[in-house]
Amino acid sequence: MTNNNGDSETVTLSHTKGDSRLKIDKEIELLIRAKYPIISLLSWEEDRITRQLKQMAAELDIENVRTWSFSRGFDDEDLSLGPPKDPISALDDCLKDEQDGVFIFYDFHPFLRDHASRSLFNRKLRDLAIAFRESPLLRTIILISPIADIPDELEKDVTLIDYPLPEVGEIDDIFEETIKTTGAKSLLSPSDKEKLLKAALGLTVNEIRNVFAKAVVDNNQIQAEDIQFIIEEKRQIIRKSGILEYYPLEEEFDSIGGLNALKEWLRQRSNSFSYKAREFGLPEPKGILLVGIPGCGKSLSAKAVAAEWKQPLLRLDIGKIFGGIVGSSEENMRRAIKVAESVSPTILWLDEIEKGFAGMKDGGDSGVTSRVFGTFLTWMQEKNKPVFVVATANDISKLPPEFLRKGRFDEIFFVDLPEPDEIKEIIAIHLQKRNRDPEDFDLEMLAKIAKGYTGAEIEQIIISSLYTAFHTNKDIDTAMIETAIQETVPLSKTMETEITALRRWAQKRARFASEVRTTGSDQMKPPIKPLTKLRFPYMFDNQQKANTFSEFKELCKENESEVWENISAGRMEKWLERNNFFELAAETAKLRDYTNNDIAFEQFLALLEKVS
């Protein structure tokens, strides 16, 4: 096949019915043959599963396949003779049936949990399970429901199976069927077709048919732009979950000034979810953690990568995870993960993750936060679905060390304050967004005086200048922007200590999102020297303390673990108080609440720099 540029392009697609579904079908067939009495299939797709079960029964020479629902009873009932059989009567019919059979019950879960006679239904099913096992006949009851709700008393009698949604091979069959029945024309290159088929993962057969029909109904053709129809269909699934939030694909990499190293890293992985990447031997990327100063583009980058990769962007609101009912928080997290996996490939965005899991250290919520966090960590480590996690954090000190270790994320990026060249880009971007030509402004001069400002602050400076211009009936100019810059106190001044500590931490433990770093006074400090023994109990007492505060600072820099040990034990603050550093002692005492020892140590060094 030829792509839009006229170049020959070959992409191998899997046309099997789906390895997962074939495996599940074989397992169900084996269970029926082994006389498992009750099988519960978790799925929305009654029609699809019923067709497959009838085909399976035919291969096992079982002609007796009956379906039951509360609204119409058994499919072979004559409703003109009376109302449909109630659940108990229907179960009795299965027991009386004296031939091999598969009995399919739709949406039976309300009778097992919420119904006034649930004890009777549960007991009847247990009786059936015993009778089916002892009978020489091959009989199985299959419950199909979208909700897994098995009472405790039935746990040993019911086999629960999560029936998979259509995989790429089945979706391809539906695509070809749509093209054939509608006479539509496909303008997709092989790679575009692969993206379209993979975009439909997570939809049911009926949803896939509907969205393909929607794509061709307007102009009787399918093209790359129609992938957006599928993403919008997934938006409905996400909205119904109540925990995940769908974000439209509006921002692009061109909307971000600077961060070239981060953008290049992401561009290199834009096709990493393809079959070609799997055949090449590449694993699917897991995710990235963006750490850095507020307002420097972390959240914007999460939005832009979804547009660059043409994948749905889901935001996980940690606050919605924590419900009021005992056990509901853990279930909410599992449900959110399941929804994200069902619409994969997708981008899962967790913004300011340190705030979402803020209750981990004090344990004031009886360990709920720790359990939810543990569920999330285990999933990140073991997940086998193409869900790319983008987590952002401003305060790295509140994140536990296990969250930062390799294997959770592919890379940890540090997003620092923009450099002058990046500031020029940011100013130009925001001027263009507001229909102004950047060539009309002195960007070089503005970038110099805006050094130390975040991207968010620069955007507000442009907006403030526009308000001034609008009020004075003039157009915005360089002088107005310069005045707005001078009137704004940047975050780099108000949070100087915290930013210094964060930069020190990032130098040893993260990759910089921007390619160019400055030299001179803002250059990153060299790594801390190898540790040497430091004996605080006597070295810094009144008899043998360091001669100067400068010597004290250098000694601390060289002995990280011993310094932290004495901070956490409270000895450091007491020594500082004895030497009249009362403000520094008070700030040091706060460091004991940090969950991350490394960032606490860097914060302490930043405090020393500030005092000196």
For the residues 395-418, what does the mean pLDDT come to? 81
Domains 168-241 and 420-493 share a fold: yes
- Predicted confidence (pLDDT) per residue in 537-570, tens digit: 334 443 344 445 667 777 777 777 778 777 877 7
Of 534, 557, 536, 541, which is closest to residue 607 (Cα–Cα)?
A: 557
Ranges assigned E (strand) in 429-529: 511-512
Q: Is 297 helix (H, G, I), strand (E, B) or coil?
A: coil
Mean pLDDT over each residue of the chain, to the nearest integer: 80
CA atoms of 568 and 460, how far apart (whole Å): 40
**Stretch among 69-78, 199-208, 458-467, 556-565 having the lowest mean pLDDT:** 556-565
149 vs 479 pLDDT, higher one: 479
Confidence class for position 255, pLDDT limits 50, 70, 90:
confident
- Predicted confidence (pLDDT) per residue in 111-156, tens digit: 887 666 778 888 999 999 999 999 999 999 999 988 777 888 888 8
pLDDT at 603: 83
Q: What is the pTM of this model?
A: 0.65
9 vs 50 pLDDT, higher one: 50
Q: Is 73 helix (H, G, I), strand (E, B) or coil?
A: strand
CA atoms within 13 A on the CB side of 531: 9
CA atoms of 15 and 598, how far apart (whole Å): 51
- Predicted confidence (pLDDT) per residue in 511-536, tens digit: 898 875 543 334 433 333 332 333 44
For 253-415, the fitting CATH number among 3.30.360.10, 2.60.40.10, 3.40.50.300, 1.10.8.60 is 3.40.50.300
CA atoms of 474 and 467, how far apart (whole Å): 10
Question: What DSSP string runs through 334-362?
Answer: HHHHHHHHHT-SEEEEETTHHHHTTTTTT
- Are the C-beta atoms of residues 154 and 125 closer than 8 Å to each other? yes
For the residues 90-110, what does the mean pLDDT come to? 90
Query: 183: which 2 tokens?
Result: 């006479």
Q: Which residues contact 249 (CB under 8 A, 6 or more apart)?
A: 228, 231, 303, 306, 307, 310, 313
For the residues 274-293, what does the mean pLDDT come to? 86
Q: Is 372 helix (H, G, I), strand (E, B) or coil?
A: helix
For the residues 89-116, what does the mean pLDDT come to? 87
Number of neighbours of residue 375 by Cβ within 10 angstroms: 19
Has domain 420-493 been given CATH number 3.40.710.10?
no
Of 311, 599, 251, which is closest to residue 455 (Cα–Cα)?
A: 251
Q: Which residues contact 465 (CB under 8 A, 6 or more apart)?
A: 476, 480, 481, 483, 484
- Superfamily of domain 19-162 in CATH is P-loop containing nucleotide triphosphate hydrolases (3.40.50.300)
For 168-241, the fitting CATH number among 1.10.8, 3.30.250, 1.10.1060, 1.10.3470 is 1.10.8
pLDDT at 9: 41
The domain spans of the chain are: 19-162, 168-241, 253-415, 420-493, 529-611
Cα–Cα distance list, 543 to 163, 359, 538, 547 (Å): 74, 43, 8, 11
**Stretch among 11-15, 186-190, 293-297, 571-575 having the lowest mean pLDDT:** 11-15
- Predicted confidence (pLDDT) per residue in 414-444, tens digit: 999 998 889 999 999 999 999 999 999 999 9
pLDDT at 359: 54
- Predicted confidence (pLDDT) per residue in 558-608, tens digit: 777 778 777 877 778 877 776 667 778 888 888 877 767 777 888 888 888
pLDDT at 368: 76
pLDDT at 545: 46
CA atoms of 357 and 398, how far apart (whole Å): 9
CA atoms of 102 and 3, how far apart (whole Å): 49
543 vs 81 pLDDT, higher one: 81
pLDDT at 362: 52
CA atoms of 44 and 602, how far apart (whole Å): 52
Q: Which residues contact 136 (CB under 8 A, 6 or more apart)?
A: none
Q: Is 332 helix (H, G, I), strand (E, B) or coil?
A: helix
pLDDT at 18: 53
Helices (H) and strands (E) in the chain, counts: 29, 15
Of 231, 117, 130, 222, which is closest to residue 176 (Cα–Cα)?
A: 222
